[in-house]
Amino acid sequence: MNSYNIYLITLLFPFFILSQSSLNMEQIGNLEYNQDLNDVWGYVAPNGEEHALVGCANGFSYVNISDPSNPYEVFFVPGSNSIWRDLKTWDHYAYITTEAEDGLLIVDLNDLSGQSYVYTTDFFNTSHNIYIDEFGYAYIFGADDEYVVSNGGAVILDLNLNPMNPTLAGVFDSYYLHDGMVRDNILWGSAIYEGVFAAIDVSDKSDPVILGSAPTSCNFTHNAWISDDGNFVFTTDEQQSCYIGAYDVSNISDIQQVDQIQSWNNVNSPVIPHNTHVMGNYLVTSYYTSGITVVDASDPSNLIEVAYYDTSPDYDGGEFEGCWGAYPFLPSGLLLASDQQTGLHILEMIDPIYGCTNEIASNYNPDATADDGSCLILGCTDSEALNYNVEANVDNESCEYLCDGYIIIPPIVQSDWIVQEGESIILSAEANGNIYWLDSQNNILDIGPSYTTDPIFESTMFYLYNEEVVEEGVQGSAGEENHVCGGNFGCDYSGGEYNSYLVFDCMSSFNLNSLKVYASSAGQRTIELRDSGGQILNSTVVFVPESANDGYVIDLNWEIGTGYGYRIGTNTQMNQNNFGENNPGFKRTTLGQQGEVLTNYPYQFDDILEITSSEYGTDYYYYFYDWSISTPNQTCISESVPVHITLHQTNLNDLELSKSIIGIFDLLGRNVDKIEKEGFYFKMYNNGSIKKFYHLD
């Protein structure tokens, strides 16, 4: 496979079938070991042959993969037993760190006998990880030597003068770094116990400077890798059900998370991500029991998993087993994966089979591995219907509505009126519910048994309908009612690095009126509601007094719409600002003294709400107790009834007949009781009009 083939992967999101062990990736070769493996790296020898550098529990293995279907070990350098080994290369040398007390192993890869190596403990005895930048500086993370680093930050070694005998160039030791990578003299460090990744300027190796930092979604930052354009950082949090995260770092003073994604089988059970690497527009990640995964990150705000290979099909869920390391940078385009149990895997991407991958679609293709957007899912597409299908994209006229089962009698009203020009009238009606009055444009004019019109100057129409309650709303509570301490150490509050949340589903809209928390100290907190992708939907800043014993009720009055995977938690940045740590200082429920589970998931309320888990699974219950919820009354309406208003049309005869004479006058304006002479006279009417006439004798 050529190195560019990885770019041929589809951008479309596949629907994963959990029985599959791979997607758009196949194994070319496998080398098994009689001991557990840890990390892996790649190397191209001067003759162009590709090799794998494999960390083993008891040493370092150098493997020739020039024939990827028949890999073989060239040599092995023994070392002390350790779960952890990490490997990188500079020129034709390999550098291996371990948490055993071996210091730094340096191997000359030009000597295929494997005899040209040295262990040095000049700068540390144990360390967790290593990275070597493009300038020949090695960064040793999590080292133990108290004379060089006391916090386990980064020991910086210069490899240029004598690669087999490096010299100390500088130290970063503001806090412990679990991992890191460096490009253009910017160290992207993973401060796992701080829960953040940090950008550190190492231009002056003797005086590194922190430029900025940001927390990751699970506050347990395991590794971080910068994009090729330097605008985005991708991270992993090494905990169950956590994420590969994407962060915009183009403004280092205002880092923003733009997306996050979990592995293909996390929906089946919570899986732990390990290390991610940026390969062009793709993220290649070792993902423990999920194997090796590939995510399309061409749009960092829309991460899409496009390939995977399960290297340990016998393991699943939140175990620290399976795929430890991944390496995607070989010129051939081959991918390397080191699995603790099943050895070294040599893999390559394969072209996807396009089609509809959704099993519920009418045109589902069981052979398809990549969705082409052609799925036809029949169902009700009206979100107001009882049987609304969120996945349906073709309406099959099957929608069912609550009001289909009720007959609402229209209001009784006089439907025809004749009025004089400029007249206002009072319209009255009778019904068992609320009567709504509307104009001819369906604008609501009033609600009630009667409506007084404005002066009428032309014929018009009014409409009215009857609204009745058919189902009463409900009120109640959900979740753990009170905090419970099982008697074990730390049963009240989690560590300062943690800030977690509860996950819940909403099957029918409801109002979240209030929650109860138990606060260790007074101060402001931000309560946040996020969707399943981590986007904030609602938030409120509240002052919470010290309430460790009796709890404190926070009024929210949030309307929650139908949806799944909602998260409710607190804002990490405000917690850090106000309390100096990620934790909000709220009590949470954890395991009992004997390890018994004190939670009772799922917490259900009718068919409306289900609290399914916490961020860290169902053994924990975070922060929010005694949820007060309510739902509105369900109403249905009758058909509209028209009211016709007709303006009375008056002719000359009508006017003549409708008026009466109040007096007769002669030409001099004298009142005439009886006309006796011939001549002109005037009639005056009650409407103020005057008529001149001639009387003949």
Q: Report how far residue 192's alpha carbon sits from residue 238's, in angstroms, rounded to the nearest whole number.
A: 9
Q: What is the pLDDT of residue 697?
A: 66
Q: CB-based contacts of 274: which residues, under 8 Å, 6+ apart?
A: 222, 223, 236, 238, 285, 286, 287, 288, 323, 324, 325
Give the residue among 347, 344, 277 at the shortest CA–CA distance from 40: 344
Which one has a higher pLDDT value, 3 or 538?
538
Q: What is the pLDDT of residue 2?
A: 34
Q: Average of pLDDT values for 105-127?
A: 97
pLDDT tens per residue, range 553-582: 999 999 999 888 999 999 999 999 999 998
- Is residue 241 over pLDDT 80? yes
Q: What is the pLDDT of residue 532?
A: 87
Q: What is the pLDDT of residue 196?
A: 94
Q: How confident is the model at residue 369 (pLDDT cuts 50, 70, 90)?
A: confident
Least confident of 382-391, 646-655, 674-683: 646-655
Residue 641, phi then psi, degrees to nearest 5: -110, 130
pLDDT tens per residue, range 53-85: 999 999 999 999 999 999 999 999 999 999 999
Q: CB-based contacts of 394: which residues, under 8 Å, 6+ apart?
A: 376, 377, 378, 379, 381
Taking CA 178 as the corner, what is the angle to CA 175 and CA 183, rounded to the nearest 5 degrees? 90
Q: What is the pLDDT of residue 651?
A: 54
Q: What is the full DSSP assignment across 486-524? A: -SSTTSS---TT---EEEEEESS-EEEEEEEE-BSS-EE
Mean pLDDT of the chain: 91
Least confident of 49-53, 252-256, 262-266: 262-266
> Is 361 within 8 Å of 373 (Cβ atoms)?
no
Task: Please give the structure tokens belonging to residue 357.
Answer: 């991958």
What pTM does this model have? 0.62
Q: What is the pLDDT of residue 676?
A: 80
- CA torsion 351-355-356-357 (nearest 10°) is -20
Taking CA 318 as the corner, what is the angle to CA 316 and CA 324, rounded to the nearest 5 degrees? 80
Q: Report how far residue 143's alpha carbon sits from residue 178's, in angstroms, rounded to the nearest whole number.
A: 9
Q: How confident is the model at residue 150 (pLDDT cuts 50, 70, 90)?
A: confident
pLDDT tens per residue, range 444-485: 999 999 999 999 999 999 999 999 999 999 999 999 999 988
Which one has a higher pLDDT value, 658 or 356?
356
Q: Average of pLDDT values for 485-513?
A: 86
Which one has a higher pLDDT value, 194 or 147?
194
- Is residue 121 over pLDDT 90? yes
Question: CA neighbours within 13 Å on the CB side: how many for 277?
Answer: 19
Phi-psi region of 178 (alpha: psi -120 to 50; beta: other; left: phi over 0): alpha
Least confident of 219-223, 313-317, 691-695: 691-695
- Most confident range, picked from 179-183, 480-484, 675-679: 179-183
Q: Considering the chain, what percentage of its residues have pLDDT values greater than 70?
A: 94
Task: Please give the structure tokens belonging to residue 154.
Answer: 């980064």
> For the chain, how far is it from start to end, CA to CA, in angstroms?
128
- Is residue 515 over pLDDT 60? yes
Q: What is the pLDDT of residue 653?
A: 54
- Is residue 657 over pLDDT 70? no
Q: What is the pLDDT of residue 371?
A: 85
Give residue 83's identity as a one-letter amino acid code. Answer: I
Q: How confident is the model at residue 340 (pLDDT cuts 50, 70, 90)?
A: very high
| C-alpha distances in Å from residue 203, one per residue of 135, 212, 249 | 11, 15, 19
Q: What is the pLDDT of residue 584?
A: 95
Q: What is the pLDDT of residue 399?
A: 95
Hey, what domains does the chain have and what are their CATH numbers?
Answer: 13-352 (2.130.10.10), 405-472+636-647 (2.60.40.10), 475-632 (2.60.120), 652-695 (no CATH)
DSSP-based three-state secondary structure for 4: helix
pLDDT tens per residue, range 377-412: 999 999 888 898 888 999 999 999 999 999 999 999
Q: Average of pLDDT values for 19-30?
A: 84
Q: Average of pLDDT values for 350-379?
A: 91
Q: What is the pLDDT of residue 20?
A: 39
Q: Average of pLDDT values for 232-240?
A: 95
Give the residue among 371, 365, 332 at the shortest CA–CA distance from 348: 332
Give the residue among 579, 636, 629 at the shortest CA–CA distance from 609: 629
- Is residue 17 over pLDDT 50? no
Task: Please give the structure tokens belonging to residue 383.
Answer: 């979100």
Q: Considering the chain, what percentage of its residues have pLDDT values greater than 90?
A: 75
Q: What is the full DSSP assignment across 543-583? A: EE---TTT-EEEEEEEEE-SEEEEEEEE-HHHHHHHHSSS-
Q: What is the full DSSP assignment across 399-429? A: ---GGGG--PPPPEE--EEEE-TTB--EEEE
Q: Average of pLDDT values for 350-371?
A: 90
Q: What is the pLDDT of residue 11?
A: 32
Q: What is the pLDDT of residue 658?
A: 60
